[in-house]
Amino acid sequence: MKKMVKRVAVGVALAGASVGAFAQASGATINDAGIVASITGVTSNVVDVGGAVLAVVAVVFGFRLLKGFIGR
């Protein structure tokens, strides 16, 4: 069991070193202005859909609560 844990730890360390070396060697930068603008444009739609879902859940909860009070 200890051998396997050591092998896994060594494998994770080597994978991390490989990723670090690749990231350092690529040297390319990513222009994220378009991505940020796209996310900013979608944010209001996500908030609207989330608000609508919460409103539906509140209405369903209210109906169930009233149904429980009435006893039907």
Give residue-wise pLDDT tens across range 23-55.
Answer: 665 566 777 888 888 888 888 889 999 999 999
Six token digits for residue 67: 């149904």
Write down the pTM of the prediction: 0.47
Q: Please give the pLDDT value at position 56.
A: 97
Question: For 22-50, b where at least 16 C-beta lie within 10 A, e where not — what string?
Answer: eeeeeeeeeeeeeeeeeeeeeeeeeeeee
pLDDT category, 58, cuts 50, 70, 90? Answer: very high
Six token digits for residue 47: 């908030």
pLDDT category, 9, cuts 50, 70, 90? Answer: confident
